[in-house]
Amino acid sequence: MTRYAIITDLNKCVGCLSCSVACKAVNNVPIGNFWNKVLRIGPNPAYEGATVPDVEMYFLPVTCQHCQNPACVSVCPTGASHVLADGTVQIDKSKCIGCQFCAMACPYGVRYLNEEERVVEKCTLCEQQTAQGELPQCVAQCGARARFFGDLEAGYESFVAPGRVLEYEATYDDVHNARVSMLECVRDFDESQVYHLPQVGNGPSCAYILRDMTWQGEE
């Protein structure tokens, strides 16, 4: 069974907001709304009693976590919110009545009502692109190569980011389809350095790697 997700290396994220901008552009997200927000965590004391300059800070991109047991799906009265075979949580706008039960049930506040269309929207993991073998736009446009897309059921080795093609005679397709494995371009990490947003029985799929700093995502 497939379970698509994004893993973000927070030690590599520089808070440039390229993921947010790229997401809004490719998905035509209305002004004032976001499918992907980047939060600044800190500066916080690096240890108890620490003062400047002994502080730590990182950036935390927050989007739909494409949960295993999504609360948004369980409360939807029309079946508009549903889980695909690839593990992603999607919205059938033809069935959405704009009741916003799903937005109220989401523990991460990543859904909103499109006031013009009167339907709820959120991150789709760029399903229109991944279905064609492409990457989600936030992954494709990450300049720090901090975001990776893959299948959790296939393990970390399946997670990839855009690769680099240096051959002079490379074609557009060569460059466009180049991929690099997450395990090739991130520093070593172990399971104790892999985090999720608050677990409230929903099983968030997306994950974050954070080394040498205190995870604040549970607060």
Give the CATH number, domain containing residue 47.
3.30.70.20
Token couple for 110: 């990543």
With beta carbons less than 8 A apart as the criterion, state whether 195 and 208 touch.
yes
Q: Which of 38-47, 85-94, 166-175, 177-186 has the lowest mean pLDDT?
A: 166-175
Q: How many domains does the chain have?
A: 1
The 3-state DSSP class for residue 17 equals coil
C-alpha–C-alpha distance, residues 147 and 38, integer Å? 13
Name the one residue in this structure whose structure tokens are 């976590």. Answer: 65
Euclidean distance between CA atoms 85 and 167, whole angstroms = 37
Contact criterion met (CB below 8 Å) for 204 and 65: yes
Output the pLDDT for position 213: 95
Domain membership flag for residue 216: no
In a domain, 215, yes or no: no
Does any domain span residue 155?
yes
Tokens standing for residue 152 = 């959790």
DSSP secondary structure string for all residues of 137-204: HHHHT-TT--EEEEEGGG-GGG-EEE-----TT--HHHHHT-EEEHHHHS----GGGEE-S--SSS--
Single pTM value for the model: 0.93
pLDDT at 175: 79
Express each pLDDT in 86-113 by its tens digit.
999 999 999 999 999 999 999 999 999 9
Q: Provide the residue range defining the domain that includes 118.
A: 4-209
Classified as helix, coil or strand, 46 is: coil
Q: Please give the Cα distance from 138 to 79 (Å, whole number).
A: 27
Q: Is the pLDDT of residue 115 over 90?
A: yes
What is the arithmetic mean of pLDDT over 18-27? 97
